Amino acid sequence: MIARRVTVAGRVQGVGFRFFAARSARETGVNGWVRNLPDGRVESLAEGEEGAVARYLDRLREGPRTGRVTDVRVEDVTITGFDVFEITS
């Protein structure tokens, strides 16, 4: 099990990015959360098997069709033990 915190910049707010991330998390089997940041970026924390987290991050790098990802920053974080994936404020 690993945990990664990711921030995504570009046209990522107002385009359904959080819902895209939540669907991607369910499909790849990761738990954690996603939220909009006040500066226009989106932040997510993903926990799961290494391959599942990697697939989730790959999807975030692509983003939804209506968005445009220009920068992705990923960092290792301590596992918290989330049981679900949720959209937060």
CATH number at residue 12: 3.30.70.100
The answer to whether 68 is a known catalytic residue is no
The pLDDT score that the predictor gives to residue 4 is 98
Domains held by the chain: number: 1
The pLDDT score that the predictor gives to residue 51 is 97
- Among 4, 18, 31, 41, the active-site one is 18
Asked whether the beta carbons of 3 and 49 are under 8 A apart, the reply is: no
The answer to whether 18 is a known catalytic residue is yes
The pLDDT score that the predictor gives to residue 89 is 76
* Rounded alpha-carbon distances, angstroms, from residue 66 to 11, 15, 42: 8, 6, 15
Q: Which domain holds residue 71?
A: 2-87
The pLDDT score that the predictor gives to residue 60 is 97
Low-confidence ranges of the chain (pLDDT < 50): none
- Among 5, 36, 55, 59, the active-site one is 36
